[in-house]
Structure 1
Amino acid sequence: MRHVAPTGAGPVALSQANQTPPESSDEVTRRWHEFAPSKQAVIDRLLQDQYMLCCYSELRADLYGLGYHIEHIENKSQNPQRTFDWSNLAASALSSDEGLPKLASYRAAIPGKVEVNFGGHAREKQNQVDTVQFVSIRDPQCASYFAYLSNGEMGPNLNRSLADQARAEYTIRLLNLNSPYLVTLRRNLWDELDALLAQHLDKGWSIEHLCQGEMTPHGRHTAPHYLPALNSFFSLTRQFFGPVAEQTLRQYAPGLV
């Protein structure tokens, strides 16, 4: 999970809707449905700030045919007045028409009752959220709460306090960030990075250039838009390369430090 700070005031339609915030759950349901024609413009702006990464999982959902939806960091049901609040919105993986059906098919192939939906569509995130325990993407230090393992799993950073580790564990569970779908993709990425690193060391190639290629933004065309994009699981890659990653980011992408 990486820090995401909203820029600007959001699309005009959103600002206009937020002039009279909803007061009840019934009003939220009606007005959010009526806002549907303007949602894609909101998602495009959010993805620009997020470099095309899901706000929670850091997955490039567009590359996996999962789509995105507008996520309310503080749930609409808990705080209806923040439904159209630009600072409360983010783009999370899994659209209703693409991502959810695709993961349903993935889930059907797994024995037992396993929750695969993640991020804003995780079952627990859609229920009551403890906002004190939850590690928010708006926290500039949010990335430091988590650690990534070579087996693809995500856990708390053991260098943080026990209280902070508990917050990390709560957030991982709430968002189902160890969904078997994500764990498999992260394990594959770790193995790929491991192989690339070994190859570069064996041939005497530049690790800095490898890191630059893996961690700096590149363009992604979505007519009529051009969006800066990062590879999936930016924070995992940053942890994998360690000090070399920090040096590379300071030199080539200081805005990501």
Structure 2
Amino acid sequence: MQSFRVLTPRDVDFMEVAPENWIGVGGRFGEQFRDYTRQFPFYAHGLSLSIGSPSPLDTGLIERIRHFLDQHAVRAYSEHLSYCSDEGHLYDLLPIPFTEEAVHYVAARVREVQDRLGRRIALENVSYYLTAGQDLTELEFINAVLTEADCDLLLDVNNIYVNSINHRYDPMAFLRGLPGERTAYYHIAGHYDEADDLKVDTHGADVIAPVWDLLLEAYLLYGVKPTLLERDFNIPPVPELLAELNQVKQIQHQALSLGAKDCRPQRVNG
């Protein structure tokens, strides 16, 4: 948190945090975190819900997340359309089989999570590097889960690009096939070029031009909505980070000038 002390609400529209990293944190660090959630709108992006796991849902974790979201007036809660546990946490995001059976299983778990939280959640289209089973396409699977669960979408633009290279499909066609009206907000990030035909979603590099192009298209299709610039390591000095963040704002202005709908919430101090 120290590196962000120079930031003000004029610099950023919102911040995102993994709730698992802050649940139960007290003392000086807990107070500093609470100061930030009072100054900025916050979104929560979970790491441990494991919505596609064969193990039962961790209802204790869900209750702690519910309390965290309420305590900090978190605007939206999202998770990954993947799984990361089976009798213990695996510390990686693993792909769910693209099958009808998995659709029904995951959708039922999402509905239970939403009931326990008392709010809708958003699921992120994830990057993946192998398929565990594929009766449906990735796009068909995402659409089916979101429809049956009646939940929102966290639209990760970089993941579309990464998967389009690794699994050889048209990223623009994929974007246009998503249920964009369900989009709660967007993620954008950089990735690592392992090879011409292998990209790794790392959040450790600058966003590249084709991903910016996808973001503009997403705005034109589904509206300008809150957009998070992800950077997990190789974090540049704050002025450089803000320059990349300003590129997001420039693309938002460009999209609005081209007729995109402005779907951003009005700023409310909280």
| TM-score bin, normalised by smaller chain | under 0.3
Q: Which structure has more strand as a fraction of its residues?
A: 2
TM-score by length of 1: 0.27
TM-score by length of 2: 0.26
Higher relative CO (CA 8 A, sep ≥ 6), structure 1 or 2? Answer: 1
Q: Which structure has more helix as a fraction of its residues?
A: 1
